[in-house]
Chains A and B, each alone.
Chain A
Amino acid sequence: MMLGKETRGDFPILRRVINGKPLVYLDSAASSQKPRQVIEAISAYYEQSHANVHRSIHTLGEEATARLESARDSVREFIGASHREEIVFTRGTTDAINLVAQAVGRTFKPGDEVIVTEMEHHSNLIPWQMLCRDRGLTLKAVPLVGEGFLDTEAFERLLTLKTRLVALAHVSNVLGTINPVAQIVTRARARGVLTLVDGAQAVPHLPVNVSELGCDFYVFSGHKMLGPTGIGVLYGRREVLEPLEPAWGGGEMIKEVWIDRAQWNDLPWRFEPGTPPIAEAVGLAAAVEYLGKLGMERVAAHERELTRLTLDRLGALDGVTIYGPRNPEIKGAVVAFNVAGLHPHDAAALLDEEGIAVRAGHHCAMPLMRRLGIVGTLRASFSVYNSPDEVEFLADRVATLSSAL
């Protein structure tokens, strides 16, 4: 059975009617919807097992701790990490990147260099900008070529003896470009340079194995992968995490405390101060289980066909400009486009009248927009619950847009 049809019934929100029309939700790159299995896991946790974790010597505390730590194991397995100590729960991708910038940044010296790319989401740019400003580092960006590919030759030239870290998206949230992460990680590691991969647009859509990629850090969010908001994951290679000082202080992240000093906790708790997002971890584990049952190869193939259809149908329309690679084989489940003569916000508002939810704007990638010479785009993005019918409907409505205003 077609994946979109098979899964649709699991997502209660997709029954909603918007402006008198059935909801066509094409904004999963911003945030995905949640299956019943995730919603029920969170409810059941709160109704049956909630208490604070780790030091509660009572039944509920033990249950909650077991649920949290078992969620860590689920995530470890899902992304192919070798050790559970390598999985740190954060509030999201942004939080995870800031955590790394804080913790690793302390080891950088003035004059050291950090490399990002021109296609980064602000969340993988601003933390590095702030770090570079505070510590006197130099920030460099890998330029783009062609339809929106990283200029890997330019990357080689940007790598110097002073480069300490390379931070890049696995999949661009605008162009959809799947970056040659393994190749870049290999080149960086050969030079002793740390790598952070922003997997927010990859983990929900593609099979990801962090051990095979070989990166030092890999970060992603729960809410884009059918899980709840308020939780994200920092994968950090054990040898890299082990010597690092914690980013933030508080309870949970210490072993022993005196008034003037403290001894840090073991991995991964050293990087998880305060009460963790327990219910969110339970929800994330349910999302991982859901995706695991579907199989990420199948999810990727399904979304690739939706992307292919979107590129074909929108690409055939007069006045529609598509941004990013045209080949769905090397593209994530996002298609950014504009309609001639229409501001993306007007176009999105008109599509909303038809029940179609698409993103419009700069997609938190202003440097990329500036490079493309535009203020923003429309963006259709897909998940497991979308179907070709929805793409056809989108294309039909987009075709009428230029005469709608």
Chain B
Amino acid sequence: MGVLYSSIIRERYRHPRRYGEVSDPDAVFEDVNPLCGDRIRMTFSLTDGLVDDARFTGDSCAICAASADLLAELVTGRKLSEAENVATEDLLRLLEADIRPTRMKCVTLPLHVLKSALAQAGVRA
């Protein structure tokens, strides 16, 4: 069972590396996918145009959790301009899975949360 779920998704879902909250965050955003009830919150610490730290919490399916974990890892240590420009394709590559159209929102919710957090914090690339 489970060819839809790559070993990356399983591993990240069971043992996320970036789960938690950044203390005293510079950017915060939380959103839900009304379709399935996935909820993702991301917190960021930002210094001198860099993402110092990125963490996520939430209640979601495996694909969404893995996407959030990979995204938080991907942007940590990157320039804000790079973080803002992460694309869905980047995440799909990292997830190494055959994501069906009905589950694409699970992949993109964390990306939406990231971009909203940075936009709200007034960050401009």
Interface assignment of B114: CB less than 8 Å from any CB of chain A: no
Q: Given contacts A346-B61, A405-B62, are A376 and B37 in contact (CB under 8 A)?
A: yes
A404 contacts across to B, CB distance below 8 A? 1-2, 5
B62 to chain A, nearest CB (A): 5
Interface residue ranges of A353-405 to B (CB < 8 Å): 353-354, 360-362, 369, 375-376, 397, 400-401, 404-405
Interface assignment of B121: CB less than 8 Å from any CB of chain A: no
B2 interface neighbour in A350, A361, A362, A369, Cβ under 8 Å: A350
B49 to chain A, nearest CB (A): 36
A350 contacts across to B, CB distance below 8 A? 1-2, 4-5
Interface assignment of B15: CB less than 8 Å from any CB of chain A: no
A25-47 vs B, Cβ < 8 Å mask (1 yes, 0 no): 00000000000000000000000
B97 to chain A, nearest CB (A): 11
Interface assignment of B60: CB less than 8 Å from any CB of chain A: yes
A344 contacts across to B, CB distance below 8 A? 36
Cross-chain pair count, CB within 8 angstroms: 53
How many residues on A have C-beta within 8 angstroms of the other chain's C-beta atoms? 19
Interface residue ranges of B1-35 to A (CB < 8 Å): 1-5, 10, 13-14, 35
Q: Would B36 and A375 count as touching, CB distance under 8 A?
A: yes
Interface size class of B (residues with CB under 8 A): 20 to 34
Interface assignment of B90: CB less than 8 Å from any CB of chain A: no
Interface assignment of A313: CB less than 8 Å from any CB of chain B: no
- In the assembled complex, the Cα of A377 lies from the Cα of B71 at a distance in Å of 27
Instruction: Please name the residue on chain A nearest to B106 by beta carbon.
Output: A345
A401 contacts across to B, CB distance below 8 A? 1
Q: Would B103 and A345 count as touching, CB distance under 8 A?
A: yes
Interface assignment of B96: CB less than 8 Å from any CB of chain A: no
A368 to chain B, nearest CB (A): 13
B59 contacts across to A, CB distance below 8 A? 375
A375 contacts across to B, CB distance below 8 A? 36-39, 59
Q: Given contacts A375-B59, A405-B10, A405-B13, are A345 and B36 in contact (CB under 8 A)?
A: yes
Q: Would B36 and A405 count as touching, CB distance under 8 A?
A: no
Q: Given contacts A345-B106, A405-B13, are A353 and B2 in contact (CB under 8 A)?
A: yes
A354 interface neighbour in B1, B13, B38, Cβ under 8 Å: B1
Give chain B's interface residues, CB within 8 Å of chain A.
1-5, 10, 13-14, 35-39, 59-63, 100, 103, 106
Show 12 A/B contacts (Cβ-Cβ < 8 Å), sorted by A. A343-B62, A344-B36, A345-B36, A346-B61, A346-B63, A349-B4, A350-B1, A350-B4, A350-B5, A361-B36, A362-B37, A404-B1
The 7 A-B pairs with the shortest beta carbon distances in the complex, nearest first, are A375-B37, A343-B61, A345-B61, A404-B1, A346-B61, A346-B62, A404-B2
